Amino acid sequence: MAKRFVKASPPVEKITLAYWFIFKDNQLLVEDKGELASIPLLADISQLGNIIRQQYLGLWEEIHCYAVELEPAVGLPSQLRWTGLRQIYGLLPDVFFSLAGEAIQIVDWDRTHQFCGRCGTPTEYVGYEFAKKCPACGLSAYPRISPAVIVLIEHNHKVLLSRSPHFPKGMYSIQAGFVEPGENLEQAVEREIMEEVGIQVKEISYFGSQPWPFPNSLMIGFTAKYAGGDLTVDKTEIEEAAWYSADDLPSIPPPLSIARKLIDHFVEKQRKP
């Protein structure tokens, strides 16, 4: 049977071991394992500092998992260190990186919804789901999810890649942007492409999706084909854009991202006889 993570109710009995996704601000506590890293597996974390907030995530292979914000003690064990999620990208097993992404969003939701956004009353946990409810006016608050489209555009056996100013030096990726109120996903694709690179697209097809905790996105992937227009870069969001063949790609995002999965799919298709 494949290993899997399952949602579950918090344990009633005292736990013996648990995976602790521990955050200080937005820094994750990890254990160094040579060139890789792991999530601390401990029975008790009191020696690491004072718990500010704690949420139960579920079970990974019958082991409990928690998301915790900590006021850290002075001096951590030498094998533990704080790191950003982007920096640990590719060093944690995929399932634990995914859980860390969920954990940081749950901790942030807990931190930023202490009071009702409508009337200012302190909120209360619902208990059976990730939700907080105002006891005064009844407003419920759930963890925020921000849908974003990401699209690979093909034209004459080439793919459109672009550089954003915040990308690592030399790296290019495909076009992406957040869905705006009143839009469906296809409209968001068309608008984002026109705004960023000035072209029209056609044959928009769903590819897949991926939660992306930077800070709370759900990336919804599409493929599309060039339909017309001149390539015109919006200099506020994009530094440069150009068409690339499968055999002449620049530096692209790492394998875990849906951007890379879309690009790899394009390359594989181009190399088929």
pLDDT digits (tens, 9 = 90+) for 122-155: 999 998 889 999 999 999 999 999 999 999 999 9
pLDDT digits (tens, 9 = 90+) for 216-229: 999 999 999 999 99
How many CB atoms sit inside 10 A of residue 120's CB? 10
pTM to 2 decimals? 0.88
d(CA 174, CA 270): 17
The SS3 call for residue 185 is: helix
d(CA 257, CA 245): 20
pLDDT digits (tens, 9 = 90+) for 77-120: 889 999 999 889 889 988 999 999 999 999 999 999 999 999 99
